Structure 1
């Protein structure tokens, strides 16, 4: 594999895991391969892959660790994305033997995937006073490894704690026998290296361009997304997302109670049109409403799917606000509201809180304002909320 092809491969893999918010998972997986101090400074998947390349654990002639990563993280759709560029990339199959990751590391991956947000809260309460309010299971596992609560070869006490909390699925994952006899990724069992097939033609996919729609298609798209959002989404979250665009009056947005009326504000301001619906498509992704994809394909048969769309219309600040909202629980919503002088009875949910924080210029993109806000959260023990605001640097 030539240098440029290898760089493209790293780019495809990096973008996939970053888009799927999986860096914290990868940090657990690669804890035995990357120095702990270095791991703590890594902010995106490309940095991680480059560190593996630097230590010769991932090279153009040996992609074994990449194949095993896809297998252990269960991101099998990434294989298809890679094959769209490198058709001869070997098949990654579930159940193949890992030669790069220890049985303990593999069990931790299964353990993390078995945990629910409620499980994470229970374990957090068992080990931390005050609660650290971990943003996800992987951050918790990494922290417990730092504290030596999770330690290879000495898991008896931790397993007993899981037994006490009655977390059977998670406990079973930690006790699972890691064994097998199948060869690695379609390569004969005498080989331990995932070697790329003869160099394929480099095919870098171009970004998908949404075709121009006629008025009927455009209105159908608005109607489908609005109806879906009203049924499955949160209109206050939609207001937070669309607050990205300062051309829309905050007062106008505040008085709207239906998704369709909010999307009409986009149309009125020229942010969307028959020739440009990127904002509405990206809004669907940011709002977690990807289930509407099939409805979109009914209106636009050529639309290949939401996984081809890149977020380009929304800032890192906006995406940080969404991560912030996802980790705020009911009690902390009220605490934050009182802390910053908001009228708490009017805050129906965490998205209403964020909308009011932005409206009052209490939380803005300005680095000084944001730092002061984050510091106040940390000072009051809301570590997960503070951390979420720095998800996207």
Structure 2
């Protein structure tokens, strides 16, 4: 067995063991700690387990067989001894230092572990959440962050902390100065989105030219990675404007073949793949396909329109339950789509919901309480 395959299997075994430790109710604080990393649509799934979350982190490139710092910090702040033993055993041979939890997330987690039943009653009453019946602090805070009622802004932190017991309140407010001036993760435009939606004052980076063999190897390995990750429907939506009928493709390689046949993807210019990685936030592919390392470099996204990118941002925050609500609101039956990506694609192709711009659709989303989804469409409103 190749060394790379051996490392991958060892890593999967490591993640499986951690998954067992973060099962049941223990997944709730894990979800909270990953809210800066993963989308609401993923975290909101009721049947998701820790292994699914770890897979998503690996897709993003946040963890890998040689990078487990994020997981190490998670087990440290959750103080789960068996999980700590698992991480210590895996990292004994040495792993790279890399992305960890933000100071904000760690401080807030420490404060929330000291929340009382009285705090919960105060929070539900203050934020008018009694009707939702939140029984634990993790689900309640997930709702507040998703609806932008709590973020890193000073006013919202103070308002939230003011409803907690003195000890929990002190933990947050003592660290408040650390967060002042830091833009909210949810409200601020991501670097990926900003790069594509800006006017484009920077000269776009051009990836280095590959040999014929290197290019074919890149195509094969990249298509296999996205196919294995079950990301075909997401790519169908992304490439809709570049392929006559993206839904006809039953695998990722076929979709890439279509792009090559039309000249939109070629050995001397494969920036469409680099931009694809940035937009979909799937830098985990770089672990397998080293020739795509240019996806880690700065540079404007030029292969996809602002409109297309914005629809992708919408898909990232739309949970399965919310997708059903949007489908119902727009007379789309459940059997006409499989996930949020195919729903958005269906709305584009078969309804008039975007025909005259997205303003009406945005108002419809707000009417059913999906303000966080409506927010993602604002960059293309009134354009």
Give TM-score, length-normalised by structure 1. 0.51
Question: What is the 5 A alignment of 1:88-99?
Answer: none
Are residues 1:140 and 2:149 paired? yes
1:295 paired residue among 288, 293, 300 = 288
Distance 2:241 2:147 in 1: 30
Are residues 1:331 and 2:321 paired? yes
Kindly state the Cα deviation for residue 145 of structure 1 after the two structures are TM-superposed. 6.3
Answer whether contact 2:203 2:299 (CA < 8 A) is retained: no
Q: Deviations over 1:135-169 (max 9, x none)?
A: 956933259966xx6427x9352358x97xxxxxx
DSSP-derived class of the 1:276 partner:
coil
| CA 1:155–1:274: 2 relative to 1, 3 Å | closer
Distance 1:241 1:140 in 2: 30
Answer whether contact 2:210 2:267 (CA < 8 A) is retained: yes
| CA 1:229–1:344: 2 relative to 1, 3 Å | same
Kindly state the Cα deviation for residue 333 of structure 1 after the two structures are TM-superposed. 1.0
Answer whether contact 1:112 1:137 (CA < 8 A) is retained: no
Distance 1:156 1:173 in 2: 12
Answer whether contact 1:362 1:369 (CA < 8 A) is retained: no
Distance 1:137 1:283 in 2: 26
Kindly state the Cα deviation for residue 321 of structure 1 after the two structures are TM-superposed. 0.9
In the other structure, the counterpart of 1:277 is 270
- Can you give the 5+ residue segments of structure 2 that lack an aligned partner in the other structure? 1-35, 38-101, 113-119, 133-139, 179-201
Kindly state the Cα deviation for residue 381 of structure 1 after the two structures are TM-superposed. 2.0
Distance 2:361 2:124 in 1: 25
DSSP-derived class of the 1:314 partner:
coil
In the other structure, the counterpart of 1:215 is 212
Are residues 1:236 and 2:243 paired? no
2:244 paired residue among 249, 254, 258 = 249
Distance 2:123 2:270 in 1: 42
In the other structure, the counterpart of 1:166 is none
In the other structure, the counterpart of 2:163 is 157
Question: What is the 5 A alignment of 1:334-349?
Answer: 334-349=324-339
| CA 1:272–1:108: 2 relative to 1, 3 Å | closer
Kindly state the Cα deviation for residue 231 of structure 1 after the two structures are TM-superposed. 2.1
| CA 1:150–1:296: 2 relative to 1, 3 Å | closer
Distance 1:206 1:389 in 2: 26
Answer whether contact 2:232 2:252 (CA < 8 A) is retained: yes
Answer whether contact 2:161 2:173 (CA < 8 A) is retained: no
Give TM-score, length-normalised by structure 2. 0.52
In the other structure, the counterpart of 2:350 is 360
Distance 2:339 2:150 in 1: 29
Answer whether contact 1:134 1:384 (CA < 8 A) is retained: no
Q: Deviations over 1:311-358 (max 9, x none)?
A: 111122112111211221222211211211222223211111011011
Q: Deviations over 1:348-374 (max 9, x none)?
A: 11111011011124343x6x3311111
1:389 paired residue among 372, 377, 380 = 377
Distance 2:123 2:348 in 1: 30
Give the number of aligned pairs: 242
Which shows bigger deviation, 264-273 or 287-296? 287-296
Distance 1:156 1:341 in 2: 43
Distance 1:306 1:225 in 2: 16
Kindly state the Cα deviation for residue 269 of structure 1 after the two structures are TM-superposed. 1.4
Distance 2:158 2:177 in 1: 20
Answer whether contact 1:233 1:287 (CA < 8 A) is retained: no
